[in-house]
Amino acid sequence: GAVVSQHPSWVICKSGTSVKIECRSLDFQATTMFWYRQFPKQSLMLMATSNEGSKATYEQGVEKDKFLINHASLTLSTLTVTSAHPEDSSFYICSARDLSSQGSTDTQYFGPGTRLTVL
Amino acid sequence: GESVGLHLPTLSVQEGDNSIINCAYSNSASDYFIWYKQESGKGPQFIIDIRSNMDKRQGQRVTVLLNKTVKHLSLQIAATQPGDSAVYFCAENNFGNEKLTFGTGTRLTIIP
């Protein structure tokens, strides 16, 4: 089956620093990737839709200048949390949509998540 | 609309019994529904999906039921095993919109 990886799996950083999280589709190409944030005991909240070769589409309330998304290739999207603060501590999860499933909505594969802790 | 999880409902089931997890969705235009399983510290794992032209779909030990009239979705897990302990989320979208909207989630605990 399709595999999506994330790196790092966890990261601890100091307040004010920036953190980059990578999302890779390992055995398929993805024109579209999605970034979610999940707080403890809560559901996944979509942050943005990452489109290869174009600007990301952010959900309402998500600061695009704080959460920078780059989808440079069909297998890689990155999320950079700039000037991180303790309230940014969360579980960040990406998903990727298989390019070959164009027209179908049932092939969104999730990564294992990245635990970010900002001190 | 968006579902925001403020409280995580819990369900405890004896090992070997059947479990039923429920989900109410809000968007009447949604025509595709998915159940995901999420274990602690991991990403969601696809379990089963169903389109709005169906009201029941079966997989291995799992069955999804869809009632569009009341906008209700359920996941039935037969003969539950310890490995079924996890948080289960329903998700919805409509064809042409790639975005998934996740439900609140239910924590399923299997009692040995």
**pLDDT averaged per 10 residues, chain A (length 119):** 92 97 92 93 93 90 95 92 97 86 64 97
Q: Residue A30 has what pLDDT?
A: 87
Q: Residue A1 has what pLDDT?
A: 67
> Cβ A34–B105 below 8 Å, yes or no?
no
Q: Which residues of B touch A45 (CB under 8 A)?
A: 2, 4, 102
Q: Which residues of B touch A32 (CB under 8 A)?
A: 98
Residue with tokens 């032209």: B53
Render pLDDT for B17-37 as a digit per residue (tens, 0 to 9).
999 999 999 888 898 999 999
Residue A37 touches chain B, beta carbons under 8 Å: no
Residue B5, pLDDT above cutoff 60: no
pLDDT (average), residues B81-103:
89
The sign of the CA dihedral B90, A69, A97, A61 is positive
Q: Residue B95 has what pLDDT?
A: 66
Residue B6, pLDDT above cutoff 60: no
Tokens of A34: 């999605």
Residue B102 touches chain A, beta carbons under 8 Å: yes
Residue A105 touches chain B, beta carbons under 8 Å: yes
Render pLDDT for B30-60 as a digit per residue (tens, 0 to 9).
989 999 999 999 999 999 999 999 999 999 9
Render pLDDT for B68-77 as a digit per residue (tens, 0 to 9).
999 999 999 9
Of A6, A43, A110, the CB nearest to B3: A43
3-state secondary structure of B110: strand
To the nearest 10°, report the CA torsion of A97, A101, A105, A111: -20
Q: Residue B2 has what pLDDT?
A: 40
Are A73 and A64 in contact by the 8 Å Cβ rule? The answer is no
Torsion angles phi and psi, residue A34, rounded to 5: -125, 145
Of the candidates A45, A109, A97, A99, the one whose C-alpha atom is nearest the C-alpha of residue B45 is: A109
Q: Residue A89 has what pLDDT?
A: 97
Residue B24 touches chain A, beta carbons under 8 Å: no
Residue A110 touches chain B, beta carbons under 8 Å: yes
Q: Residue B4 has what pLDDT?
A: 38
Query: Average pLDDT over chain B, rounded to whole?
Result: 90
Q: Residue B34 has what pLDDT?
A: 93
